[in-house]
Amino acid sequence: MNIFAVVCFILHTGALGFLQVQWLPCKLNDEYVWKNDKGQTEIESIYRDAVLHFGNLRDSSLYPDTITFLVAASKVDMRKYVEGPVDQLQCEISRYSKGLSRVRWPSLGGTEHDVWFTCTLRHIAGLFNVTSYLRVTPATTMSPHQPDIHSWITLGDNEKLSASAVMVVLTRTPSVWVGLLKQQTLHCQFAVDHKTSHLTVEWYLMKHGQQTRLYSYSSSSGQTEGSGVAVDGIARGNASLTLPLTEMSSEGTYLCSVRVPPLNGSVTIALHVMESPQVSLTIEQGSFPRVWCEAMGYYPLDVEIELFKETSSGEHPKKLKNVIHRSHTKHKNGTFSLPAFVRLQPSPLEPGCGVYSCRVKHVSLQGLYIYKSITEPGCLTWINLILPGMMGVFVVIIIFIAVTKRRCLSICKRGTR
């Protein structure tokens, strides 16, 4: 049984909770860098099997034939930010480039030649993304005039790398759906293995190929630009951004950047505006009677309107094929409306005719739909036939009681004389 079969067995039997897990199977997004004949840098990416092993630096590899990242205990442990069973996780390790930076990491004996990797744990249902920054003791010395990608170590299939987790950045809102005029907080949290005076937190909104800075804070200068992030929360590792009341312009990809030289950690959050439709169903009389169904005030654009007709009690409604859809109307707030109608065909009145219904589907309804029905005026439905008769009987009974009571009173008065 290979490593991944063993992991699957453990996960499916529920033998381990995440806080007790000492290792995880991962995919290493490895990169090979070289110069072509024209002196240009080329990079080829390839995914390789790897193991993330939490333990002591002197521990032996659990699986000697697989690339192992042996992560020693430190003040930063990505596992404590993860919730739920481990079979809901995706693990990916990637190389991390500092570019030309030669800044040393101030803790754990860091050097300017450290080699860096990132390890990201994602929940498959999108509940969180957690990225940890791993420092690896280098085997080579970098050139001071080239980015560190040209000095990356080559990893064999049975490589064992001793690593230390020094920083983690995470979000519990990697994708957000929110309605109009709502207040939304985008979660961003971080932890560093040492107290630093060189911390920068920034938020950006990226859309249509443009990047707009919304907020920035520098611990070294104490300066703040923008709003939405509590400065006292940053000191506790909370860089969450609270947005103003949402509008259509709020939609886009938000980036939370946490920079501690030489590392620049970040998480992205996709914010989608979504508004549910309001539905009206009416019957328009006149020379050309029609049944109108309109979906109003929805976003995003796609909506589905279906009309049905029921001609007898208990009959399954039949979907109408001659439905005419008008064009979408866009409102000032960015939402849309769409009317649809069907023409009524003149026919003799008969019991059970003309019960129309409208069904509207939209992504905001999460697989459900809005359903309304209406009866065509003049149709002799069972209630049209029975109710007048019932009302007549009721009136006769009331008259009978009143006359009887009056006669009784008259007789009683005669008896007293």
Taking only the tens place, the pLDDT of each residue in 28-42 is 999 888 888 888 888
CB of 309 closer than 8 Å to CB of 283: no
pLDDT at position 349: 46
Estimate the share of the chain in helix, then strand, then coil, as percent rounded to the nearest 5.
15, 45, 40
Give the model confidence (pLDDT) of 288-321 as tens digits.
889 999 999 999 999 999 999 987 666 788 899 8
Question: Which amino acid makes up residue 283?
Answer: I
CB of 136 closer than 8 Å to CB of 111: no
pLDDT at position 145: 57
For 6, residues 6+ apart whose C-beta sits below 8 A from its C-beta are: none
For 37, residues 6+ apart whose C-beta sits below 8 A from its C-beta are: none
pLDDT at position 327: 92
d(CA 214, CA 318): 53
Least confident of 5-9, 119-123, 198-202, 218-222: 5-9
Task: Give the residue-averaged pLDDT of 124-140.
Answer: 86
Task: Give the residue-averaged pLDDT of 381-395.
Answer: 48
Average per-residue pLDDT for the chain: 83
Among 150, 293, 176, which residue's Cα sits nearest to residue 243?
Answer: 176
* Backbone φ, ψ for residue 7 (5° rounding): -60, -45
Alpha-helical runs (H) found in 146-289: 231-234
pLDDT at position 402: 57
Burial class (CB in 10 A: 0-12, 13-18, 19+), 154: exposed
d(CA 52, CA 60): 13
Residue 86 DSSP one-character state: G
Task: Give the residue-averaged pLDDT of 259-285.
Answer: 95
Is pLDDT larger for residue 294 or for residue 103?
294
pLDDT at 257 over 90: yes
Is pLDDT larger for residue 376 or for residue 221?
221
CATH homologous superfamily, domain 278-375: Immunoglobulins (2.60.40.10)
For 51, residues 6+ apart whose C-beta sits below 8 A from its C-beta are: 3, 23, 24, 25, 26, 61, 62, 63, 66, 67, 68, 69
CA angle 185, 189, 191 (to 5 degrees): 165
Classified as helix, coil or strand, 187 is: coil
List the beta strands (DSSP E) in 36-74: 41-55, 67-72
- Which residues are paired to 40 by β-bridges? none
pLDDT at position 5: 40
- Of the pLDDT bands very low, low, confident and very high (cuts 50, 70, 90), residue 141 is low
Q: Given the structure tokens 């009341």, which residue do they identify?
A: 245
Question: Which amino acid makes up residue 175?
Answer: S
pLDDT at 211 over 90: yes
Is pLDDT larger for residue 105 or for residue 174?
174
CATH node for 3-273: 2.60.40.10
For 331, residues 6+ apart whose C-beta sits below 8 A from its C-beta are: 297, 337
- Of the pLDDT bands very low, low, confident and very high (cuts 50, 70, 90), residue 376 is confident
Q: Which of the residue ranges 95-109, 197-211, 375-389, 390-404 has the most confident prediction, judged by mean pLDDT?
A: 197-211
Give the CB-side neighbour count of residue 358, counting CA atoms within 13 A: 24
Task: Give the residue-averaged pLDDT of 15-23.
Answer: 58
pLDDT at position 84: 79
Classified as helix, coil or strand, 364 is: helix
